Structure 1
């Protein structure tokens, strides 16, 4: 674990120990949980810085006078000297636009510009941003230098290099968003948040804003209009100046302190709204009750007076109620009758199928009886046949009964073997039935008789069962019929309904004559009911029971504030080394700038710079205008030196000084500023980049001649 990190688990336990009587450890974890954790920040240098290599922009001035600016840029100090209003600030603002997407140059410059091309590098990686300003802003960020970009564009090959694009854009908003993501990623910046409250005491609404890349860029581009402020004019809104300071130094615990502070502000907003809502509800209830009670008394009085006057002499409400009761009874009885009739018909319908079944069974029984009789006859005939055959087959005929001639033995043999009658001599074709065959046939007939008798018995049993079922069903039909006839008649009720209808019609005829009074009475009755309901609701309601919610929110706020106090204390210890080094660097620089009466620099717990001048502590805003300029330059140069010399902080090491020394500076101090810039260039020319734009010729020798653009009097930069 880095020495600037904290142990989150131990921190949660530490906070919980203070609130263990009120809340569980897991709840503390939930309240203090942050998406990016507590160790997002590190003051250690990222080891790379921003370096601009070449800037090209072109367009048409008024009267269609074309211009093209093309300049190589170098590490160390790059210098532009020209009279005021000759284009120095415009060059810087074009650079700002190319790096942030935020436009701040004058409208006429905006109309002139047609395209901007800027080559820069971060560490060893080279990039070219191209912005086409003809119409809607569009373009891309490429991962190569300007020379290759121009070559590819001239040969119409830019469309085939998608893999060498960081991003492209089709609007100024897209450009701004993509550049922010790009530089945040490279320099480990992120969006710090702050809240702002309405100036009204009764308004607890908070608005939340973010510090964008364009805001952080104010620590790079020191505009001429902001030299009286350490960062920029509105730096105190949401403590933006302090947040920029925290971000460019990478101070430990910046992220958790920022996010927990935001949560604390949000909870305060909720608490304020709840308290205001309770107050408003109480006041509204009192006012509403008084108003409604007054109105209710007036309605009651009007109703009493109306009825007292006797204008309304009829009331059909009892008739309507009676009509409704009878109608409901008639409807009920009709439903009962329909139900009973349906049940009766349903049971009646079940009778005939049973009768049909019995009839079919009886027919089957008759057929079986007939078959048994037939078989009995067959058996009898077969028995007689058998007995007759046996009788005649045993006769030994001696003589013919007709002629009394003797029947010889030869004829008897012939009859036996050739089937010729021993009496008449005729040959018979009929074969004699054997006795065994007759016996078998007789046995089969007896078996069939037995089978049919079994079937007959089963049919008789089934018929008896169906007859019982028929009896039960007939009883059910009778029972349902009794229920049907037991349903009361609706005739008398229907007759009464018709009578009531006539009475109501008569009342309605009277009502037409007094319609105005009726309408007024009904209106008052409705109003009375509404007002009575409103009074009851007001009396039932208690004050908004938000005490539990307020208690919970207050506890959460105390927990967050305690956690913040603990983090601030921890942060002071973690930042001692880096802040001490920065204090020493700033002190050396301001004294080199001629502010020798500043004996000490101290950065307090709110990260404000305190200058001890002639034994008196004072803030930046209490310095004179000339002192502010030198102190501001010293501050930013020191932040960069902190990275170069101590590998601390994450400033991109790129600065733009727009018109330093523009305020009235005595010659000695102006010379001191010139010398310190020259010294910075000599010491750190390969480790930072500073752009200086000035109208003061005294700065002409602060850098090498090839890095300087010095215009004659009244000559434009472009």
Structure 2
């Protein structure tokens, strides 16, 4: 039997991808206006697309991506999409010729097809379904498995990564991006891609086992949290049922403990109290009316006293009397005569002028008015106290009547039995609730699941075997990455160390250990290219090349400050393609002069005229 971790017994998984042709047709809405139809023939090795900025270089890479990946990237501009009517891409995928055909209208995909030897493998009429079907086809042809990682945001507790994530290891991100390999940094994706493309023994199986184990652990934690919430809920319901049962029992005991009251006695009390309440309320109303009359008299006396003190003429008339009518004929004294008496000193009764004043009489008149006010105030206080007494007595009698009516309800046998029946049902209801809650099985703390133990053991065994088999591969990978990066112009690089999670340590001459994220954009780009090419070279050396061997690099010279550095990178890529079989690299740049001076055997694709668009 073959050891699954023996490299000699491992079956290689070739995944070569090569683009042969790209055709772009449509109508441009900016200068130069009009229809266009451009075809690019692409060879193995290095191909450099040269054009001025914003003249179609990046769009070529993005359209190849749309065809092969199934979904376009954000880098494909909307205005460019609106020009397109037809995009065709011919490629070899794992040795099988495929023809990718896109038909667009107004920037929207209306038909997507993939054909192989007159057999239609994919047919879709919208962008979403085209992307899904292309992804499934490429995963099948390249013998790739979905990659999974644990996620608290997903309903299943896992995130699944497919062909678009793998494609990120072929269309390299710009130098400033954080991922060493691929586009995704979440879920440990760089390390997962590294292990798959290095073809580590058991990598795909181990990835699936770890994702499944993580989902089991997540499910166990969720079950524990659910069980605790259920226990808390049951405890709250049990406490509420106990409280309600205690209250119902107490109310029933209180009702049963009351002495029965004679119905005739209570009726007599209600009759007596009803009459007393009626009488008391009548007396209360009378007392309030009397108080109101005396109060108005007191207010009138106050006004008269004030008037006497302010108007001398009023003091002489009737010794502070204020007649309402003539004492002889009983003709009413009008308000106009009263006003004239004050203004002109004429009598309000007979309208004759008033005589000279006697100050002694004035004082006597004022004293009389004062005595009247004092008497009315005392009378008002007595009337108020009397009214308050009657109001309080009526209230006490009403309360006594209400109590007698309650006693009548208690004395009514039917009402008493109905109340007792209601309370008895309430007691039975809560006794049933308590019994039901006590009989409900409350989950305890979850134990360590057996399947998790089995998965842990399987993962440990796979990792132990894989570690022994992969140690030599990573030593070789470190050496090749460092050698390639130096060839690409990373001159002060001494060595690198990469682990299975694609974490790269960088050792520079005379400097401290640094991480990949701490490098400059140009250094990151060199290291990223070196990692992908090293994966391919190590795979070829062991007879199991797993990376597709197809790379697209957009404007690598933009990361450089000196032309010499950019030239060194391009020259190294050209030599690398000549030395490495099954390697195809597409590069874009705006510096045609630099390309022409540097490269000798690479294919250069340029616009038909200087400054013109590439297509």
Q: TM-score range by the shorter chain?
A: 0.5 to 0.7
Tell me the equivalent position of 1:695. Answer: 590
8 Å Cα contact 1:45-1:643 kept in structure 2: no
SS at match of 2:582: coil
Tell me the equivalent position of 2:531. Answer: 635
Counterpart Cα distance in 2 of 1:190 and 1:530: 59
Q: Residues 273 and 220 of structure 1: is their aligned pair in 2 closer, same or farther, counting only changes over 3 Å?
A: same
SS at match of 1:54: strand
Cα displacement string for residues 527-547 of structure 1 (whole angstroms, at most 9, x for unaligned residues): 332222222233445642455
More helix by share: 1
Counterpart Cα distance in 1 of 2:125 and 2:52: 36
Counterpart Cα distance in 2 of 1:213 and 1:564: 25
The correspondence for 2:234, drawn from 285, 302, 306, is: 285
The correspondence for 1:654, drawn from 532, 543, 550, is: 550
Counterpart Cα distance in 1 of 2:3 and 2:421: 83
In structure 2, stretches of 5+ residues that fail to align are 263-408
Tell me the equivalent position of 2:570. Answer: 674
8 Å Cα contact 1:312-1:518 kept in structure 2: no
Alignment of 1:403-552 (within 5 A): 523-541=422-440, 543-545=442-444, 547=446, 550-551=447-448
- CA positional deviation for 1:136: 5.3
Q: Residues 705 and 632 of structure 1: is their aligned pair in 2 closer, same or farther, counting only changes over 3 Å?
A: closer
Counterpart Cα distance in 1 of 2:565 and 2:572: 10
SS at match of 2:544: coil
The correspondence for 1:54, drawn from 14, 21, 36, is: 21
- CA positional deviation for 1:650: 1.3
Counterpart Cα distance in 2 of 1:49 and 1:568: 28
SS at match of 2:89: strand
The correspondence for 1:561, drawn from 456, 459, 463, is: 456
Counterpart Cα distance in 1 of 2:602 and 2:495: 37
Cα displacement string for residues 630-660 of structure 1 (whole angstroms, at most 9, x for unaligned residues): 1112112222333455533311111000121
Q: Normalized against structure 2, the TM-score is what?
A: 0.66
Return 578-587 or 623-632, whichever deviates more: 578-587
Return 657-666 or 50-59, whichever deviates more: 657-666
The correspondence for 1:111, drawn from 57, 75, 82, is: 82
The correspondence for 1:142, drawn from 106, 110, 115, is: 115
8 Å Cα contact 1:43-1:249 kept in structure 2: no
Alignment of 1:81-230 (within 5 A): 81-104=50-73, 105-122=76-93, 125-134=96-105, 137-144=110-117, 164-197=119-152, 207-224=157-174, 227-230=177-180
Cα displacement string for residues 160-188 of structure 1 (whole angstroms, at most 9, x for unaligned residues): x5xx3334333334322332333223322
Counterpart Cα distance in 1 of 2:565 and 2:2: 43
Cα displacement string for residues 659-682 of structure 1 (whole angstroms, at most 9, x for unaligned residues): 213224344432321221232244
SS at match of 2:606: strand
SS at match of 2:556: coil
8 Å Cα contact 1:79-1:708 kept in structure 2: yes
SS at match of 1:59: strand
Cα displacement string for residues 122-142 of structure 1 (whole angstroms, at most 9, x for unaligned residues): 465432111222465324322
Tell me the equivalent position of 1:253. Answer: 202
Cα displacement string for residues 416-473 of structure 1 (whole angstroms, at most 9, x for unaligned residues): xxxxxxxxxxxxxxxxxxxxxxxxxxxxxxxxxxxxxxxxxxxxxxxxxxxxxxxxxx
- CA positional deviation for 1:215: 0.8
SS at match of 1:209: strand
8 Å Cα contact 1:609-1:619 kept in structure 2: yes
Tell me the equivalent position of 2:331. Answer: none
Q: Residues 68 and 225 of structure 1: is their aligned pair in 2 closer, same or farther, counting only changes over 3 Å?
A: farther
SS at match of 1:661: helix
Counterpart Cα distance in 2 of 1:263 and 1:705: 46
Q: Residues 138 and 523 of structure 1: is their aligned pair in 2 closer, same or farther, counting only changes over 3 Å?
A: farther
Task: Tell me the C-alpha RMSD between the 2 structures.
Answer: 3.5
Tell me the equivalent position of 2:351. Answer: none
Alignment of 1:191-340 (within 5 A): 191-197=146-152, 207-224=157-174, 227-232=177-182, 234-235=184-185, 237-305=186-254
8 Å Cα contact 2:488-2:526 kept in structure 1: yes
Counterpart Cα distance in 2 of 1:591 and 1:43: 33
Counterpart Cα distance in 2 of 1:292 and 1:78: 80
Q: Residues 44 and 584 of structure 1: is their aligned pair in 2 closer, same or farther, counting only changes over 3 Å?
A: farther
Tell me the equivalent position of 1:471. Answer: none
8 Å Cα contact 1:58-1:67 kept in structure 2: yes
- CA positional deviation for 1:102: 1.0
* 1:69 aligned onto 2:19: no
Counterpart Cα distance in 1 of 2:563 and 2:202: 44
Return 652-661 or 51-60, whichever deviates more: 51-60
- CA positional deviation for 1:690: 0.8
- CA positional deviation for 1:629: 1.4
8 Å Cα contact 1:42-1:250 kept in structure 2: no
Counterpart Cα distance in 2 of 1:108 and 1:307: 88
Tell me the equivalent position of 2:325. Answer: none
SS at match of 2:443: coil
Tell me the equivalent position of 2:480. Answer: 585
Cα displacement string for residues 243-271 of structure 1 (whole angstroms, at most 9, x for unaligned residues): 11112222111122112212321221232
Counterpart Cα distance in 2 of 1:60 and 1:184: 34
Tell me the equivalent position of 1:450. Answer: none
- CA positional deviation for 1:209: 2.2
Tell me the equivalent position of 2:333. Answer: none
- CA positional deviation for 1:308: 6.1
Counterpart Cα distance in 2 of 1:230 and 1:94: 24
Q: Residues 519 and 269 of structure 1: is their aligned pair in 2 closer, same or farther, counting only changes over 3 Å?
A: farther
SS at match of 1:133: strand
Counterpart Cα distance in 1 of 2:176 and 2:608: 25
Q: Residues 648 and 183 of structure 1: is their aligned pair in 2 closer, same or farther, counting only changes over 3 Å?
A: same
Tell me the equivalent position of 1:465. Answer: none
Tell me the equivalent position of 1:603. Answer: 498
Cα displacement string for residues 203-245 of structure 1 (whole angstroms, at most 9, x for unaligned residues): x97522222111100010113376442124532x211111111
Q: Residues 77 and 517 of structure 1: is their aligned pair in 2 closer, same or farther, counting only changes over 3 Å?
A: farther
Return 662-671 or 528-537, whichever deviates more: 662-671
